[in-house]
Amino acid sequence: MRKKIVAGNWKMNKNLEEGHQLTSEVVNMVKDEVTSDVQVVLCTPFVHLNSISKLLAGSKNVMLGAQNCSEHASGAYTGETSVSMLKSVGTQFVIIGHSERREYFGETDALFAKKVDAVLAAGMTPIYCCGEKLEVREANDHIKLVTAQVSEALFHLSADALQKVVIAYEPVWAIGTGKTASSAQAQEMHAEIRAHLAGKYGKNVAEEITIQYGGSVKPDNAVEIFAQPDVDGGLIGGASLKSRDFVDIVKAMK
Ligand code: PEP
């Protein structure tokens, strides 16, 4: 049975005090209200990881994630953060390949492959994001593009390593736009990604990979999207900044 994982991507939001408050609220609500075995991940800004890690120490199923990492182990890389630094403050998950990293920072699938390796070598879980822009979908090339993103960043991995990766399908046109993919569009792409994994690694391995959906997930659309058979959770941006909304989305993952 694959894991169900709902992760919040705070992006560049929340100062430390606000981040602590949001974390405490989420931890308490999850403890009181979430009865399913869903794992919850808070992907906070780097500077908050160390102290938020302490706030999560007593929580069974709320975990800590970072939003990026360096592909390098250490050295003269001003402004960068290594996987061993992340690991040393209790980080368990690292988002790799977010569309904002692709678009604003020029990061490529080849670089993501190296970052995925670094995260796995440090014993953390990469959440690898893939997804097409609107013009690609309109040209009906979305499946070709997304499966290529998956191959290029992940297909150098062994089957054992691949099984430690979480994939997040995030259509770029749905991120932060209020426009979500329909549940049928999400299911179609998730099934295509899983079939693509099966083609390379076999059906048994593909069936074990958690594939999250991300893109304007809100409490009122989460139930329908999460009910799709190949949707195993969500990567949540804007709605993860409000504890009530975020926990309501977590509760939608049954
Ligand atoms: C994201 O940034 O990963 C995301 C899905 O954002 P939003 O939920 O705000 O669309």
**Structural domain boundaries of the chain?**
5-252
For residue 254, the model assigns a pLDDT of 86
The dihedral built from the CA positions of residue 69, 46, 11 and 20, taken in this order, carries a sign that is positive
What ipTM was assigned to the predicted interfaces of this complex? Answer: 0.97
User: Which residues in the chain land under pLDDT 50?
Assistant: none
The yes-or-no answer on residue 207 being catalytic is no
Residue 98 Cα: closest atom of ligand 1? 3
* Annotated binding-site residue? 10: yes
* Annotated binding-site residue? 50: no
Rounded Cα distance between 214 and 236, Å, is 6
For residue 155, the model assigns a pLDDT of 98
Which of 44, 217, 221, 245 most suits a substitution to test ligand 1, by most atoms within 8 Å of the C-beta? 217
For residue 96, the model assigns a pLDDT of 98
For residue 34, the model assigns a pLDDT of 95
The dihedral built from the CA positions of residue 232, 111, 153 and 138, taken in this order, carries a sign that is positive
Nearest alpha carbon to residue 46 among 91, 6, 100:
91
Nearest alpha carbon to residue 154 among 120, 131, 186, 204:
120
Q: Contact 51/15 with Cβ under 8 angstroms?
A: no
- Residue in 100, 170, 190, 192 annotated catalytic: 170
**What CATH number was assigned to the domain covering residues 5-252?**
3.20.20.70
Rounded Cα distance between 91 and 190, Å, is 27
Nearest alpha carbon to residue 233 among 243, 241, 221, 222:
222
Over the stretch 5-37, which tens digit does the pLDDT of each residue have? 999 999 999 999 999 999 999 999 999 999 889
Among protein residues, the one with the nearest Cα to ligand 1's atom 8 is: 237
* Annotated binding-site residue? 70: no
For residue 153, the model assigns a pLDDT of 98
